[in-house]
Structure 1
Amino acid sequence: MRLIHTADWHLGQSLHGFERRYEQQCFLNWLLATLVDKQADALIIAGDIFDTANPSAVAQQQLYQFLTAARASLPHLNTVLIAGNHDSPARLEAPRPFLQLLDAVVSGQVWRLPNGQHDLASLVVPLKDRTGAVAAWCLAVPFLRPADLPKVTSEQDAFLAGVEGVYAQTLAIAQSQATDQQAIIALGHCYLQGGAASQDSERRIMIGNSEALPASIFSPALTYVALGHLHLAQSVGQTDWIRYAGSPLPMSFAETQYPHQVLCVDLAGSRLAAVESVRIPRFVELLRVPAKPAPLDQVVAALQALELAALPETEQPYLEVRVQLTAPEPGLRQRIEDALKDKPVRLAKIETRYLRTEGDENELAPLSLEDLAELDPLHLLTELYQQKYATDLPSELSQAFHQLLQETQLEAV
């Protein structure tokens, strides 16, 4: 059986005010062609389908048109998609009855049974081969919030114990149904210890002191673990069976050098036979000029020297200009825009860095205005608490604040 593992599409995302519908559609077109070329049996999407909990109508149309086209091109295709921390579970699951007609299973949250118990059995999904026979089982575990977790009596961190409990119980349910020749794979949208995170574009996940979960939450009895959340494609713990697919497009200028990909996963019975990285073309370039912040006169000269191909606006590169200053420069933007006049490029961001002392090029101020804009509220609270009380933020306060942030993000849905 052949699976395509992908994640972190962030449909509807804009880059510093520029909407990215063209690039996102290029990726979806490429993915459809790749599914057909690889003759995939299943498509696994490990969360953050949309960039916000309240995606635009255009972003939703892109997803559903793609799923419809994929099913039409590959009538045997199974699709499993889970909610990530950017997604609204309710919004993602709303079209569930229609998606079932496409053999697409969506898992947004852990539902409760009439008796109040968590319905973990509904997260265990059969995957069929092209003959219609069950060939593997999938633990479709979405991004887990505290309300999704069954209570577990344990001396360890309550959130960690709850996550371990979800995976252990869903695995037991799958094992009770699987044969010796059927693989069991798990999905997850989380931050594992040892994973490399993007410095700009990944929203922090923090529950108490368990921002990063140990890879040991995944049993060796699993054949493959398909992860989302981290935008850098990577395996975890030097394994070949626990992997982040990474984002298909760079979500920020910090990700311009990432190896964007999907993973082609081959199962042979219950065994992992092969994992192939399939690189995704760069549909629109992201440029950083210069490579490191430099004095304004040097930056202007570098911009004037840019030679770029004439392209339609939707295909023109995005540009981040990186300037090193010793004092505020009132005419900064105007000088940069003048240097770029008539050049086929989209000025997305001007990064300014200030020297501590004139002539000391290695001592940059610790935070620029852009750095401050990229900090999330929980990180700021943690830093302020540390500064004021000289101790770590208590876990109960962190949990309460995290829950408040999630409720705020979803209140518009």
Structure 2
Amino acid sequence: MKLLHTADWHLGQTFHGQERHVEHRAFLDWLLATLEARRPDALLVAGDLFDVVNPSLRAQELLYDFIVEAHRRLPALDIVLIAGNHDSGNRVELPAPLMKRLNTHALGRVHWRDDGTLDAARLLVPLSDASGETRAWCLALPFLRPAEVTGRTRPSGPEDERPDYVAGINAVHEQLIDAARERRAPGQALVAMSHAHLRGAAVSEGSERPIVIGGEESLPASLFPADIAYVALGHLHRPQQVGEARIRYSGSPIPLDFSEVDYPHQVVEVILEGETLAATETLPIPRSVALERLGPADLEAVLAELDALEEDPGLPVERWPWLELRIDLDGPQPDLRARVDAALEGRALRLLRIHTRYPKARGEASASRRETLDSLGPRALFTRAWEEEYGEPADDQVTRDFALLVQDVMDTEAEA
């Protein structure tokens, strides 16, 4: 059986105010062609389908047009989607009854029975081969929000010392895996799909929103025992395996920040033989729009770098590279933008932002980029405010409580 694993599409993302529909459309067109060429039995999309909980109509059209076209080209293809931390679980599930007619399964939230046990059956998706025979089961686990797992059944024993959220996540995994083991027949593989941060995985510099609780957000790979043939992960944008070849992040299909400019972008092809993983292959995604990041250096050096870039006036405007300049200054430079604009004259580049630093005035230790509310985020602002008010850092419990409140606000906005 053959699967394709992808994640973190972030449809509808704006890049410093600029839309990226052209790049997402190019990726989805490439993916459709790849599905036709490679003929997988299933496509797994491991969360963060959209960039925000209330995506634009155009972003939603990208997703649904893709699903319709994929089904038209490959009627037997199973598509499994889960919600990520950027998605609204309810929104992802809203069209689920219609999407099932297109062999597409959309899972946005976990549900609990009246006795407090997990409704695991709805998270188990049978994956069929070309003949229609079930060859594997996908354990489709959307991003687990605190409100969905805290206060639920907790493992007994010393593990009770863990925070409720982490204990709840463990309980969900245990119950779902037990249900999958009961459901599958001999020879059928188990494939887990999750949107989470596993411990030991590499995080991007500036584009991945932290998941809920500081250090507690990272989960152990031991959540996925050895009889899970493959674990398709989403959330981290750098493609990587975590400890074992069977546990992988596919990464994002396009760079979502300049910090990701050097990442390889790919989907993962997975071959299963019976109950086990036989092989994986990474399929590189062509980059439809380049990112250019110049500096950090002084103004003259950055302008020289800019002048050395090759010109390509044949590109349509929507395919011009995005540009970020990082410039070190000795002091205020009133004509900075005018000089940059003059250097860009006639060049097929789209300037997104200019980062200025004053290393001599502030000392090399303070030469990091200028802080803004966006660059700090709620957690760092809260930590600073707490320390300023009480003269000491917030302890772990306070930090966790604050993170839970932030997640509650995000969930409330999503529901609204």
What are the Cα deviations for residues 62-107 of structure 1, in whole angstroms up to 9, with x where unaligned?
Answer: 1001011111111110011100000011111110110010111111
What are the Cα deviations for residues 113-169 of structure 1, in whole angstroms up to 9, with x where unaligned?
Answer: 356654222111111111111110111100001122233142223222211111111
Q: 2:395 aligns with which of 393, 396, 401?
A: 393
CA-CA distance at 1:208 after TM superposition:
6.1
> Does the 8 Å contact 1:7/1:227 carry over to 2?
yes
CA-CA distance at 1:386 after TM superposition:
5.2
The residue number in structure 2 matching 1:304 is 307
Relative to structure 2, which stretch is displaced further, 176-185 or 371-380? 371-380
Query: Does residue 318 in structure 1 map to residue 322 in structure 2?
Result: yes
> Does the 8 Å contact 1:127/1:137 carry over to 2?
yes
What are the Cα deviations for residues 17-70 of structure 1, in whole angstroms up to 9, with x where unaligned?
Answer: 211111100000000111111110000000000000000001100100101111
Extract structure 1 runs of 4+ deviating beyond 6 A. Answer: none
Residue segments in structure 1 that go unaligned for 5+ positions in a row: none
The residue number in structure 2 matching 1:241 is 246
- Give the distance between the partners of 1:211 and 1:371, measured in 2 at CA: 24
The residue number in structure 2 matching 1:380 is 381
SS at match of 2:278: strand
SS at match of 2:292: strand
Q: 2:163 aligns with which of 157, 164, 174?
A: 157
What is the root-mean-square deviation of aligned Cα atoms in Å? 1.9
**Structure 1's 67 and 8: CA in aligned 2 closer, same or farther, altered over 3 A?**
same
Q: Partner letter of residue 33 of structure 2?
A: A
CA-CA distance at 1:328 after TM superposition:
2.5
- Give the distance between the partners of 1:112 and 1:266, measured in 2 at CA: 33
SS at match of 2:90: helix
> Does the 8 Å contact 1:71/1:102 carry over to 2?
yes
CA-CA distance at 1:322 after TM superposition:
1.2
CA-CA distance at 1:339 after TM superposition:
1.2
SS at match of 1:376: helix
CA-CA distance at 1:180 after TM superposition:
2.3
CA-CA distance at 1:378 after TM superposition:
1.5
1:311-390 aligned within 5 A = 311-357=315-361, 363-369=364-370, 373-385=374-386, 389-390=391-392
Identity %: 45
- Give the distance between the partners of 1:294 and 1:400, measured in 2 at CA: 38
CA-CA distance at 1:329 after TM superposition:
2.0
What are the Cα deviations for residues 185-217 of structure 1, in whole angstroms up to 9, with x where unaligned?
Answer: 111111111111111110011326412111111
SS at match of 2:380: helix
The residue number in structure 1 matching 2:91 is 91
Residue segments in structure 2 that go unaligned for 5+ positions in a row: none
> Does the 8 Å contact 1:123/1:139 carry over to 2?
yes
The residue number in structure 1 matching 2:262 is 257
Relative to structure 2, which stretch is displaced further, 112-121 or 139-148? 112-121
The residue number in structure 2 matching 1:82 is 82
**Structure 1's 408 and 23: CA in aligned 2 closer, same or farther, altered over 3 A?**
same
Q: Partner letter of residue 94 of structure 1?
A: L
**Structure 1's 315 and 308: CA in aligned 2 closer, same or farther, altered over 3 A?**
same
> Does the 8 Å contact 1:204/1:376 carry over to 2?
no
> Does the 8 Å contact 2:138/2:193 carry over to 1?
yes
Specify which structure has the higher proportion of helix: 2
- Give the distance between the partners of 1:403 and 1:85, measured in 2 at CA: 15
- Give the distance between the partners of 2:44 and 2:323, measured in 1 at CA: 33
Q: 2:279 aligns with which of 260, 274, 282?
A: 274
Q: Partner letter of residue 28 of structure 1?
A: L
TM-score, length of structure 2 as denominator length: 0.93
SS at match of 1:179: coil
SS at match of 2:268: strand
Q: 1:407 aligns with which of 403, 406, 409?
A: 409
The residue number in structure 2 matching 1:219 is 225
Q: Partner letter of residue 328 of structure 1?
A: P
The residue number in structure 2 matching 1:40 is 40
Q: Partner letter of residue 402 of structure 1?
A: L
- Give the distance between the partners of 1:63 and 1:405, measured in 2 at CA: 25
CA-CA distance at 1:389 after TM superposition:
4.0
> Does the 8 Å contact 1:249/1:260 carry over to 2?
yes
- Give the distance between the partners of 2:289 and 2:50, measured in 1 at CA: 20
> Does the 8 Å contact 2:252/2:266 carry over to 1?
yes
1:137-156 aligned within 5 A = 137-149=137-149, 150-153=152-155, 154-156=160-162
The residue number in structure 1 matching 2:213 is 207
TM-score, length of structure 1 as denominator length: 0.93
